Amino acid sequence: MPGVPYVRGWNRARRSAGTLADQLVLLGLDSDFSGLVADVNVFGDGLVQLGTVRPEAAEVLARLIAAGLESESHGITADQSRSAGRGASAA
């Protein structure tokens, strides 16, 4: 489509795919996601395609995402409780 910023969408997808690929290498999962590529749709939206993935690899990725979200949730809660504690002690 004329006027659609395909390059911008693809660049964003490429950066995100690269970040994910780096993390998968650190975790030793890069061979399970060998089809990981950046792409763009007809609207110019960047996409990250994982390719064909074994069910076990998808399960590991899902568990890692859930663990990361849980960790972030606990981090936010801990920060909020520390802030609340400081406010209460100052009063």
What is the rounded average pLDDT of the residues 1-27? 90
Confidence of residue 33 (pLDDT cuts 50, 70, 90): very high
Q: State the pTM of this model.
A: 0.72
Rounded Cα–Cα distance for residues 69 and 84 (Å): 22
Tell me which residue of 24, 15, 16, 14 sits closest to 61, measured CA to CA: 24
The pLDDT-based confidence of 52 (bands split at 50, 70, 90) is: very high
Reported confidence tier of residue 16, pLDDT bands at 50, 70, 90? very high
Model confidence band, residue 41 (pLDDT cutoffs 50, 70, 90): very high
In degrees, to the nearest 5, what angle opens at C-alpha 30 toward C-alphas 37 and 28? 160
Look at residue 79 in the predicted model and tell me its pLDDT: 52
What would the two tokens of residue 50 be? Answer: 């994982």
The token pair at 1 is 């489509």
SS3 30: helix
